[in-house]
Each structure stands twice: as C-alpha cells, then as structure tokens.
Amino acid sequence: MKIQMKWELEDPYNLIVFMFGFIMLGITFFSGLTRNDVVFMVSGPDEIIVSESAKTLGLTLPRLGTEEYTIFALTGALLVSLMMRYDRDTRVAKSVYSLPVRNYSVVLSKALSAMVLLFLASLLPAFLAFVYIHGDIPDLIGRALFGEGFLAGYLIYWAMMVLYVVSVSALVAMLSPNTFASLLGSITLLYAPLVLKLRSLPPAVINEAFFKAYTTQFYPADRVVTFLDGSFYTGLLLPVVMLGVALILSEWRDVS
C-alpha cells in the first residue's frame, strides 16, 4: 500500500494536475486576500481589540468561496478520475490489480494519495498567499493560529473539504464506465450544491460551521468541537460512507 501510494504521488499526470490546482488556488487565494477589506467593530480596552483583531485575521485565512471551490473541485475530480479510472481505461490496471493485494486496498491507497495531493495543493498555497500578504505581522498571525485556535480548525477544514471531494469523486469513478464519464459525473455532483444553492451540503455547510464556530465560541477547544459538530453529518459521516461504498464497489466490480 505504501509503495502504491508512493507510486501514485510520483506519477507525472497526477503531479501536473497537482501543480494546476496549486498555482490556480494560490493565485485565487492571493487575489482574494488583496481585495480583502474586512472591517470589524469591538469596544473595550486594547487587549480586547488585539484579540478581536487576531480573530478577524484568522477568519480571513483563505477558504473556499465559489471561485476557489470550482478550482478545488475540478482538481480533486481530475486527480481521482485519473488515478482510479484512467489506468483501468488504459489497461495498465490489469497489472496493478493482479498484484497479490486486495482490490479495495489498491483503491484506498489511490484515494489516500489523492487526498494527500489535494490537501497539499490547497493548504500550501493558502498559507503561501497568506504569508505573501500578511507576512509582516508575525505576532498577530501566531496569536490567531495558536492563541485563537485557528490552526487546528483550519487544518480540519481542509481535511474535511478534501475528504468530501475525494470521496464523491471516488464513488463516481467506481460507478462510471470510463475516465471521461467519471470526470464529468464527479464535477457535476460536486458542483450541484453550489448551483442549487443547497446550504445543507458541502461546501456551504463546512464553511458555515467553521465561521459559526469561530465567531460564536471563545475557547479554541470549543471552537474545534463546535466546528466538527456543525459539519459532522455532511462533512464527515457522508464522505466516509461514500468512500466506504466506493471501496466495497471496487471489490464487486471487475477490473477493466
């Protein structure tokens, strides 16, 4: 499984998609941050202003708006379709899946490597863009990330988004006949909540849970718990179920 993952992570096709996502997201995040003229109001002594400033700064950490989500979903769908369907289309799979490992293990390692790539392709440019804009206020950034507990929530945020996108795409990839169908299908499914304005599905539900957790709760631990709590069903349970179904399907379906 480890070898399989390593192999996927070094695959040139995957890496081209990875770079596409990385650069596009980085640019979008950056331009989003330059547009940023966030205002906040608070009254109280200077310490309150400082902590509110750090909190507001933490809330400006790049997240997935409509534009960003489009790129993100596209990258995720491309990665997963390439990994899970393309090799089957090109018959390379025959050799991979004939190794003495169970099918689901191969699929799982592919899904995991897709997650790693997508996670890196979003988190790294997010931090890069943030530092390229706000690199001159290290104290406040530190305060926001650690004192206000944004780091944990932010990592979880991306992990959840990645899990969702990869598991939706994986399920579609397992169900579809070829790479093209898989790509189209996953993009459609991933984009549907945005077009239909479904607030109860990701990305809206995760975004809202994050925002709510960090604006209504005071303590970092509470914030993380509230965040997870708010996005649990569609941000965590649903993707896990979908991924599980995808794995079970991979066992049923023939490799071809």
Partner 1 sequence: MRWNALLFAFLVAGLLIPPEYSSGEAMGEPGYLFVEAPSGLVADIVGVGSYATPVGLALPPGNYTVRITGNVTVIVQVSVVAETSTIVRVDPNAVRDAVSGDGIVSIKAIFNESANYSQEKLHPPFDPFAVPSGGCGGASVYINISKPYPMDVEILGRNRVYITLNGTFMHIGDDSDGNPCMFYVGIFPGGGSRLESIRNVTYTVPWARLEINSTPDDLTIYLNGGHNRYIFYTPMDFYVPAIPHDVYNVTAVGYYGTIRIPVIHRLDTHTVGIADGHYLVESVVKVAPNETYHVNVNMEKIKSALTVERKAVETVPLEVRSEPSNASVVVTDGVLRAFANTPATFLLPRGNYTIIAFKNNLSAQKSVVLGGEGAKVFLRLIPANATLSLAVQPENATVLLNGEEVEVGNLTLSPGRYNLTVKAPGYITKSLEVILAPNEFKSIEVSLERKSVVEDKGIAISPSQSKTDDIKLEETPGNEQKGVFNDTQTFTTSPTENIPNSPSPKEDSRPFVIKISLLMVTIGAIYIALRTRR
Partner 2 sequence: MRLLKAILLSTILITILVFPIEKNALTQPISGVVLVGRGMIVPSSGVALLSSNAEDGTEYTVRVFDPEIGEAILERNATGSFRGRVMLKHSGPYYFSIRTMTPVTMAVRIINRYPSVTVLNIRYGLGGVSALLLAAILLMEGRKK
Nearer to partner 1, 181 or 220 (CB): 220
Restricting to residues 214-243, which ones interact with partner 1 according to CB under 8 A? 215-219, 221-222, 225-226, 228-229, 232-233, 236-237, 240-241, 243
Contact 122, 72 (CB under 8 A): yes
Selected from 101, 128, 151, 228, the binder of partner 2 by CB under 8 A is 128
Selected from 6, 91, 94, 102, the binder of partner 1 by CB under 8 A is 102
Selected from 133, 152, 189, 194, the binder of partner 2 by CB under 8 A is 133
- The entry of partner 1, partner 2, none near residue 1 (CB within 5 to 8 angstroms by kind) is none
Contact 202, 155 (CB under 8 A): no
**Alpha carbon of residue 128 to chain centroid:** 16
- Report if residue 228 touches partner 2, rule: CB under 8 A: no
The two tokens of residue 24 are 């596009």
Integer Cα distance of 36 and 17 in angstroms:
28
One symbol per residue from 156 to 185: x for binding partner 1 (CB under 8 A), - otherwise; what is it?
Answer: ------------------------------
Nearer to partner 2, 139 or 229 (CB): 139
Buried b (16+ CB within 10 A) or exposed e, 34-47: eeeeeeeeeeeeee
Integer Cα distance of 242 and 204 in angstroms:
19
CB-CB neighbours of 175 under 10 Å: 14
- The least CB distance from residue 241 to partner 1, in Å, is 6
Restricting to residues 70-99, which ones interact with partner 2 according to CB under 8 A? none
